[in-house]
């Protein structure tokens, strides 16, 4: 060791992954439905080096936190849960990852609904793929990451986040049928850009009614006699359900219709679908909060904004708007000013 400290460990493999924002299709993925996310220009980078002592060492430069654990089944907390979950999901496929040092840095904000956890999982799995020379494609990366978070971390998310992070591309929308896992890269509406603003009201899905909403949807599907709410075609079918199941089902059925229409919609119509989605998430799915409503209203008032909605699971996080490309900077500044006038402080992501 010199006065400058020990030499950094040699990087053996690295992986990176985008964060994502969902344009339409909220709370439809775990109902076997349709989603329409796109990536944001923020990413997570994971580098792997040799372990100094036969244990797993993980360090997040972003969080200024570190963790040490003995193996996939070790009790972990915080960001290390997602790494251990990935190791367990790989082990279930017969893939053993030797102890490594894991260095993480990320520009994807945590708790903003931009899938920081999925970006971490996908980046880590890509690094492991490189380390071990695994023959697994991007869809399989998404499947493993999804199992890690849903089964091993215990946040029962749908597969949209992981597929968007592993298969998405800048400037494109990713249409996903979450039952068949069929996906298509689609262009954004012509001459449009995506504005994302963080409400600065973070949330952790394990501390919200997220899993309760999943259960309510499952019960509603059972009452309707279908495998999942994706199989309900007519909105009139849900009207006989008791509350809150009728409201939850109505949102999912209508949201699926919105995604299918949006695939080929022009900007103005796409924006109206986003506005309707937010109203449904607020009133029928009940996952909005006053700060998100205020932020969406601030976005919708700006020149050039076609529509806006909360994005992610709700209960906090970010909002997204579809904006004329030439008006993006003006819409961003106006949104932040109007949101501040309502008593909040937002942070522009794009």
HEC-encoded secondary structure of 165-220:
HHHCCCCEEEEEECCCCCEEEEECCCCEEEEEEECCCCCCHHHCCHHHHHHHHHHH
Cα 47 from Cα 56, distance rounded (Å):
13
Check the CA dihedral 228-120-15-54 and report its sign: negative
Beta bridge partner(s), residue 106: 44
Check the CA dihedral 204-206-212-218 and report its sign: positive
What DSSP state is assigned to residue 2? B
| Two tokens, residue 135 | 């023959």
* Strand residues in 61-199 grouped as ranges (E): 65-69, 100-106, 172-177, 183-187, 192-198
pLDDT tens for each residue of 177-224: 999 999 999 999 999 999 999 999 977 666 678 889 999 999 999 999
- pLDDT given for residue 141 in this prediction: 98
- pLDDT given for residue 204 in this prediction: 67
State CA 50 to chain mean position distance: 30
- pLDDT given for residue 210 in this prediction: 86
Q: What are phi and psi of 106, to 5 degrees?
A: -150, 145
Q: What are phi and psi of 57, to 5 degrees?
A: -115, 125
Would strands 100-106 and 56-60 be described as parallel, antiparallel, or unpaired? Answer: parallel
- Which residue is catalytic, options 32, 70, 73, 161? 161
- Characterize 300-335 residue by residue with b for buried, 16 or more Cβ atoms within 10 angstroms of its Cβ, and e for exposed: bebebbbbbbbbbbbbbbbbbbbbbeebbeebbebb
End-to-end CA distance of the chain: 43
> Minimal CA–CA distance to 339: which of 203, 202, 197, 193?
197
Domains identified in the chain and CATH numbers: 11-186 (3.30.230.10), 189-348 (3.30.70.890)
Beta bridge partner(s), residue 66: 59
Contact 35, 157 (CB under 8 A): no
Low-confidence ranges of the chain (pLDDT < 50): 1-7
- Characterize 227-256 residue by residue with b for buried, 16 or more Cβ atoms within 10 angstroms of its Cβ, and e for exposed: ebbbbbeeeebbeebeebbbbbbbbbbbbb
State CA 268 to chain mean position distance: 25
Beta bridge partner(s), residue 197: 319, 348
Residue 231 annotated in active site: no
């Amino acid at each position: 060791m010199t006065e400058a400290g020990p030499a950094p460990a040699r990087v053996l493999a690295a992986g990176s992954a985008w964060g994502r924002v969902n344009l339409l299709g909220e709370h439809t993925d775990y109902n076997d439905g349709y989603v329409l996310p796109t990536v944001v220009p923020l990413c997570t980078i994971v580098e792997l080096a040799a372990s100094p002592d036969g244990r797993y060492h993980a360090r997040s430069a972003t969080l200024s936190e570190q963790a040490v654990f003995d193996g996939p089944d070790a009790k972990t907390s915080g960001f290390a849960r997602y790494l251990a979950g990935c190791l367990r999901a790989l082990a279930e496929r017969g893939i053993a990852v030797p102890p490594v040092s894991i260095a993480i840095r990320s520009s994807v904000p945590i708790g903003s609904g931009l899938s920081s956890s999925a970006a971490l999982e996908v980046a880590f799995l890509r690094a492991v793929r490189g380390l071990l020379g695994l023959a697994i494609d991007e869809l399989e990366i998404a499947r493993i990451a999804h199992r890690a978070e849903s089964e091993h971390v215990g946040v029962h998310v749908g597969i949209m986040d992981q597929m968007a992070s592993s298969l998405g591309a800048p400037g494109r929308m990713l249409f996903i049928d979450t039952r068949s896992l069929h996906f298509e890269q689609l262009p954004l509406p012509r001459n449009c850009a995506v504005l994302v603003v963080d409400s600065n009201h973070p949330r952790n899905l394990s501390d919200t009614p997220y899993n309760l909403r999943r259960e309510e949807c499952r019960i509603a599907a059972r009452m309707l006699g279908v495998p999942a709410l994706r199989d309900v075609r007519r909105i009139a079918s849900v009207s006989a359900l008791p509350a809150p199941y009728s409201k939850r089902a109505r949102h999912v059925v209508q949201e699926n219709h919105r995604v299918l229409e949006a695939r080929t919609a022009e900007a103005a119509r796409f924006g109206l679908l986003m506005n309707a989605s937010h109203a449904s998430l607020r009133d029928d799915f009940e996952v909005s909060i006053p700060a998100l409503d205020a932020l969406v209203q601030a976005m919708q008032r700006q020149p050039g904004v076609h529509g806006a909605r909360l994005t992610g699971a709700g209960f906090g996080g970010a909002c997204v708007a579809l904006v004329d490309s030439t008006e993006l900077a003006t819409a961003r500044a106006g949104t932040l000013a109007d949101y501040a006038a309502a008593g909040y402080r937002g942070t522009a992501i794009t």
